Amino acid sequence: MKKVLIVCIALISMSTFAQDRMKEGKENRKEMREKMKSLSPEQKAQLKAKKMTLALDLSEKQQTEITKVLTQAISERKDVMAKKKETTDKTADQLFENRQQFLDQEIAMKKKMKEILNEEQFEKWEQMDKKRRKHMGKKGKRSNNRKK
């Protein structure tokens, strides 16, 4: 009986400790996310280009070209998000216009990437992009479920 009691106490204390560690991890991720928001578009582009370099084995020339493209895209996206926050009540035409602008930017980014990357790198980049979009979609669904 003593052994069962000792095992139960050990399990309870370990689960409590694990929950505390999980809370700390979530807080650290939130802090990091906030710090990343304060980075300049150039810094964000450099970090993203380096990640792509590791994943796609980019040359120096490709890396500099992608950094330029990403810097431009990130700053444009930042401007669009600022405009989006300004206007809260949108008509259907405004929503259509915003969505169309977003898709145009995506098409332009895809064309630029196709010019910079070789076929193998481009295919791998598209796969990475699909995974990212799928992951972002799941995040959005999770946060929408919490709001309900």
Same-domain pairing of 20 and 47? no
Mean of the per-residue pLDDT values for the chain?
Answer: 82
Same-domain pairing of 27 and 96? no
Same-domain pairing of 34 and 44? no
Same-domain pairing of 96 and 53? yes
* In contact, 144 and 100? CB cutoff 8 Å: no
Residue 89 is classified by DSSP as S
pLDDT above 80 for 119: yes
Same-domain pairing of 26 and 51? no
Q: How many domains does the chain contain in total? A: 2
Mean pLDDT, range 101-106, rounded to an integer: 88
Same-domain pairing of 59 and 106? yes
* Res 49: pLDDT: 93
User: Helices 119-147 & 92-116, crossing angle to 10 degrees?
Assistant: 150
Give dist(CA 100, CA 97) in Å, integer: 5
Residue 22 structural domain: 1-38
* Res 23: pLDDT: 54
Same-domain pairing of 100 and 136? yes
Mean pLDDT is lowest, of 18-27, 83-92, 127-136, for 18-27
pLDDT above 50 for 148: no
User: Helices 60-86 & 41-56, crossing angle to 10 degrees?
Assistant: 140
Same-domain pairing of 75 and 10? no
* In contact, 125 and 117? CB cutoff 8 Å: yes
Pairwise pLDDT comparison (16 vs 71), residue with the higher score: 71
* Res 147: pLDDT: 47
Q: pLDDT category, 6, cuts 50, 70, 90?
A: confident
Mean pLDDT, range 39-57, rounded to an integer: 91
